[in-house]
Amino acid sequence: MSLKTLVVDDHEAARLGLMELLVGTAISVAQTVPDGESALRYLDEDRFDAVLIDVQMKKMDGLTLLTSIRQAHPNLPVVLISAYDYPVYLARAVANGAHDYVLKSDSATKIEQTLSHACENGSAYPGGRLDNVRKKMSETIRSTQLPPELPVTSREAQVLRHIAFGLSNREIAKSLGISVETVKEHVQNILRKTGASDRTDVAVRAVRLGLVD
């Protein structure tokens, strides 16, 4: 069974390239659009099995579009695609509800497997890039396992890991299922306990100490 897919990318060559790459696979590229506004309009007018969205777009970036899609179509399988597998992209994809994440350099088989798994199971491909980051973000951190430079509680350590991944307070709240105000309290406690000057300072320390490895 072919999966009716909407492709969103602001580069025409990339859209055409994906269409050509996926010929003969289970992915049927039914429509391609150059921006988020067009994508939202098509999603309201037609039914798609999945959406493949470029992360870096000028008019509306892929993560912003993902957030809008989640509000209007909470269960629609959405996979992000990018030339880069930056941890911040992956972590933000997890927090904002992406099903999975592929690279533009991935093979047709890899992209097909990822989209098919997202549609059939509603989750990321096991052991894939996004699945690994999602597990890391949800992992419980015992305060006794932390180095002395990070004298924080287990929950604060989770928040700190999210900060190190580059997430905003809103994204941290969504990822951990807590309120934005609670996140703000944790952030203030983390800064006070570590003596860090700001989020950037404490994020650099967390990365250096291996909290996001």
The string of pLDDT tens digits covering residues 68-108 is 999 999 999 999 999 999 999 999 999 999 999 999 999 99
Task: Count H helices and E strands in the chain, helices first.
Answer: 10, 5
Tell the residue number behind the tokens 């992956």, with chain if given.
90
> Which residues, at least 6 apart from 150, have a Cβ–Cβ distance to it below 8 Å?
157, 160, 194, 205, 206, 209, 211
For 136, the token pair is: 């890391």
Question: Would you give the distance in Å from CA 39 to the centre of its chain?
Answer: 18
Q: Say if residue 213's pLDDT is above 80.
A: no
Helix (H/G/I), strand (E/B), else coil: 153: coil
**Three-state DSSP state, 44:** helix
Q: Answer positive or negative: Cα dihedral of 169, 180, 143, 138.
A: negative
According to DSSP, the residues that pair with 100 across neighbouring strands are: 79
Measured CA to CA, the distance from residue 39 to residue 114 in angstroms comes to 21
Distance CA 70, CA 193 (A): 36
User: How does pLDDT run across 176-200, given as a tens digit for each residue?
Assistant: 999 999 999 999 999 999 999 999 9
Q: Tell me: the pLDDT tens digits for 96-149?
A: 999 999 999 999 999 999 999 999 999 999 999 999 999 999 999 999 989 999
Q: pLDDT value at position 6? A: 98
Q: Encode burial over 154-167: b for 16+ CB neighbours within 10 A, e otherwise.
A: ebbbbbbbbbbbbb
